[in-house]
Amino acid sequence: MKVLVAVKRVVDYNVKVRVKADNSGVDLANVKMSMNPFCEIAVEEAVRLKEKGVATEIVVVSVGPSTAQEQLRTALALGADRAILVESAEDLTSLAVAKLLKAVVDKEQPQLVILGKQAIDSDNNQTGQMLAALSGYGQGTFASKVEISGDSVAVTREIDGGAQTVSLKLPAIVTTDLRLNEPRYASLPNIMKAKKKPLEVLTPDALGVSTASTNKTLKVEAPAARSAGIKVKSVAELVEKLKNEAKVL
Residues 164-193 that bind another protein (CB under 8 A): 164-169, 172, 177-179
Q: Which stretch binds another protein (CB under 8 A): 51-59, 75-83, 87-95, 187-195?
A: 87-95
CA distance 229 to 124: 32
Cβ closest to another protein, residue 206 vs residue 249: 249
Sign of CA dihedral 151, 99, 106, 38: negative
Question: Which three-class secondary structure state does DSSP give residue 126?
Answer: coil
Cβ closest to another protein, residue 3 vs residue 155: 155
Cβ closest to another protein, residue 188 vs residue 225: 225
User: Exposed e or buried b for every residue in 157-173, given b needs 16+ CB within 10 A?
Assistant: bbeeeeeeeeebebbbb
Query: Which residue of 150, 160, 196, 208 would you call a contact of another protein, by CB under 8 A?
Result: 160
Provide the minimum distance between the beta carbon of 197 and another protein in the complex, in angstroms, as a whole number: 30
Provide the minimum distance between the beta carbon of 248 and another protein in the complex, in angstroms, as a whole number: 4
**Site residues (CB under 8 A) for another protein, limited to 97-136:** 98, 117-118, 120-134, 136
Sign of CA dihedral 184, 198, 66, 180: negative
Number of Cβ atoms within 10 Å of the Cβ of 19: 15
